[in-house]
């Protein structure tokens, strides 16, 4: 994959106006789910507009190591994946998962159920991101997953187990990806008898489960459900290729551009997501509306504009944890203190995002109260020039680019973003696209 060149920092000059249209890269959540479902299916699947990024690359490479054949159509982001119909050709592999939660969690479940001799590991931060709830759920029904480092965290050694039950339970208060992983692996366990999955306690990030169920359906597997509590996968369902499937634009990536339109007046339009999106992060626009922005939504586009300063917001962001980071930076432009609630999962993502966000917002002159699971941001009267550290977190780099907008930054000063190449996790071209709409100069 071609990676754009990034220096060790990028300086962003103040931009008073942002206007234009952005074609979004493919959704990370949809891309990695479709890749795995297509691999497990009977038949070949043509995937249109797959995201090109570190997270999808680790999934593609892992599938290749597992003997799944795929081709990229030259000069496009379209792929053909030749499904293995629930039987992986390779039973031994050492898989590098980078820092992709959407790769390691679902693959761990699928590999545990299919059985073999697999190790899964990632970057150092991946080894600090919890996976214990998923491993417990699988081992309790007879799978054999061991920790080779710290208990509860990757790296993992997956061996061949023996399915011993037809109902499983999983905790959902640390990450929804554990439930997603079990759901996607469930048809492999329910070949003869139905499989039931119960959620123990609270489930966070619920809209991501809707993405999972929607895509499983497109690959021929129906899940019966009782709200968010219990899920049933009837026996004898197996994944079937839908033939062709299209990846929507990434709604979390859309948040930066929509916020830019709302902060500066815009209009800024994103293309690739719209009215019928299956991604929960399109609900980011509800928060922007609450802040006073004008949002228009079409079939395959969303546009944000505003007239006048943004209003402060106090809201629960559990349903859109990724796009909520964009609100934290947009809050710098609001007419009073904003509070983002119920975002405790930020602590176990690419970095401890609550702590990182508080530290970096303070550098810009904001007053920030960091709670166990909330953030209160009081905007500064004028923004101070600052050097923003990004903690190898793509979203820290992307959302802090917004601090260069709307003339709140003193003229003649700059926002420096350190280590901008971390955006490659989900959006390698981010700063190029941002420059195009912000008419800024990259140094």
Ligand X SMILES: O=C(O)C1=C[C@@H](OP(=O)(O)O)[C@@H](O)[C@H](O)C1
Positions touching ligand PEP (CB under 6 A) are 99-102, 322, 349, 395, 426
In the complex, the smallest distance separating the C-beta of residue 325 from ligand PEP, rounded to whole angstroms, is 8
190-196-199 Cα angle (round to 5): 140
The answer to the question of whether 353 is labelled as a binding residue is yes
Active-site entry in 55, 250, 281, 322:
322
The interface partner of residue 264, options being ligand PEP, ligand X, none and the CB cut-off 5 to 8 Å by kind, is none
| Residue nearest ligand PEP by beta-carbon distance | 101
Contacts with ligand X, residue ranges (CB under 6 A): 29, 101-102, 175-177, 180, 204-205, 208, 321-322, 345
Q: For residues 102 and 253, which CB has a smaller minimum distance to ligand X in the complex?
A: 102
Find the shortest distance in angstroms from Cβ 292 to ligand PEP.
26
Question: Choosing among ligand X, ligand PEP, none, which partner's interface includes residue 395 (Cβ < 5 to 8 Å by kind)?
Answer: ligand PEP
Residues 6 or more apart whose Cβ sits within 8 Å of residue 333: 263, 309, 310, 379, 405, 406, 408
Taking the complex as a whole, the smallest distance from the CB of residue 226 to ligand X amounts, in Å, to: 20
> Rounded to the nearest whole angstrom, what is the least distance from the CB of residue 374 to ligand X in the complex?
16
Please, which residues have CB within 8 angstroms of residue 264's CB and are 6 or more apart in sequence?
A: 15, 16, 17, 18, 19, 306, 405, 406
Residue 55 counted as an annotated binding residue: no
Residue matched to tokens 């073999």: 116
279 is in an annotated binding site: no
Nearest Cα neighbor of 30 from 138, 130, 237, 180 is: 180
**Which residue, 179, 176, 135, is CA-closest to 159?**
135
Shorter beta-carbon distance to ligand PEP: residue 248 or 322 = 322
Residue closer to ligand X by CB (options 306, 345) is 345
Minimum distance from CB of 74 to ligand X (Å)? 28
Whether 322 is a known active-site residue: answer yes
DSSP 160-205: ------SEEEEEESS-THHHHHHHHHHHHH-SSS-EEEEEEEEE-S
User: Is 129 one of the annotated binding-site residues?
Assistant: yes
Say whether 225 counts as a known binding-site residue: no
Element counts in the chain: helices (H) and strands (E): 12, 23
E strand map for 173-291: 195-203, 223-226, 230-233, 244-246, 268-271
Q: Which residues pair with 418 in a beta bridge?
A: 9
Task: Decide: 113 and 139 in contact? Cβ < 8 Å.
Answer: no
Picked from ligand X, ligand PEP, none, the partner binding residue 208 (CB below 5 to 8 A depending on kind) is ligand X
> Nearer Cβ to ligand X, position 98 or 101?
101
Q: Smaller CB distance to ligand X: residue 80 or 348?
A: 348
Smallest gap from residue 380 Cβ to ligand PEP (A): 26
Q: Which is nearer to ligand PEP, 251 or 383 (CB)?
A: 251
Q: Could you tell me how many residues make up the chain?
A: 443
378 makes contact, choosing from ligand PEP, ligand X, none, with CB < 5 to 8 Å by partner type, with none
Spatial distance between the Cα atoms of 77 and 82, rounded to a whole number of angstroms: 16
Give the whole-angstrom CA distance, residue 108 versus residue 103: 8
Residue 33 annotated in ligand binding: yes
Q: In the structure encoding, which two tokens stand for residue 256, read together?
A: 């930066």
Q: Known binding site for phosphoenolpyruvate: residues?
A: 28, 101, 129, 177, 353, 395, 425
Q: Residues with catalytic annotation?
A: 322
Q: Known binding site: residues?
A: 28-29, 33, 101, 129, 175-177, 205, 322, 349, 353, 395, 425
């Amino acid at each position: 994959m071609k990676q754009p060149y990034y220096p060790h920092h990028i300086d962003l000059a103040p931009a008073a106006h942002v206007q234009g249209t952005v074609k979004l890269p493919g959704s990370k959540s949809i891309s990695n789910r479709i890749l795995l479902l297509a691999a497990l299916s009977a038949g070949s699947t043509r995937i249109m507009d797959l995201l090109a990024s570190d997270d999808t690359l680790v999934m593609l490479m892992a599938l290749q190591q597992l003997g799944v054949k795929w081709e990229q159509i030259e000069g496009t982001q379209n792929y053909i994946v030749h499904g293995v119909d629930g039987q992986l050709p390779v039973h031994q592999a050492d898989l590098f998962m980078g820092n992709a939660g959407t790769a390691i969690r679902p693959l761990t479940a699928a590999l545990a159920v299919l059985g073999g001799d697999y190790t899964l590991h990632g970057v150092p931060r991946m080894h600090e991101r919890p996976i214990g709830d998923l491993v417990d759920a699988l081992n309790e029904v007879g799978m054999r997953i061991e920790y080779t480092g710290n208990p509860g965290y990757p790296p993992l050694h997956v061996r061949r187990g023996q399915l011993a039950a037809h109902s499983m339970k999983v905790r959902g208060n640390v990450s929804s990806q554990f439930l997603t992983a079990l759901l996607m692996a469930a048809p492999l366990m329910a070949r003869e008898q139905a499989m039931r999955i119960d959620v123990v306690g609270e489930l966070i990030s619920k809209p991501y489960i809707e993405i999972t169920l929607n895509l499983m359906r497109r690959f021929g597997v129906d899940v019966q459900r009782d709200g968010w509590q219990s899920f049933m996968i009837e026996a004898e369902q197996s994944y079937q290729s839908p033939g062709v499937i299209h990846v929507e634009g990434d709604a979390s990536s859309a948040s930066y551009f929509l916020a830019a339109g709302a902060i500066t007046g815009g209009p800024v339009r994103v293309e690739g997501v719209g009215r019928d999106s299956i991604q929960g992060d399109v609900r980011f626009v509800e928060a922007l509306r609450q802040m006073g922005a004008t949002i228009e939504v079409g079939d395959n586009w969303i546009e944000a504009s505003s007239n006048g300063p943004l209003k402060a917001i106090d809201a629960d962001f559990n349903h859109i944890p990724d796009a909520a980071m964009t609100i934290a930076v947009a809050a710098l432009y609001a007419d009073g203190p904003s509070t983002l609630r119920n975002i405790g999962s930020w602590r176990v993502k690419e970095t401890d995002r609550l702590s990182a966000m508080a530290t970096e917002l303070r550098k810009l002159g904001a007053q920030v109260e960091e709670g166990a699971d909330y953030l209160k941001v009081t905007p500064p009267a004028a923004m101070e020039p600052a050097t923003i550290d990004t903690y190898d977190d793509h979203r820290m780099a992307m959302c802090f680019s917004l601090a260069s907008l709307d003339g709140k930054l003193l003229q003649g000063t700059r926002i420096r973003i350190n280590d901008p190449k971390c955006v490659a996790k989900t959006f390698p071209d981010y700063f190029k696209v941002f420059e195009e709409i912000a008419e800024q100069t990259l140094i």
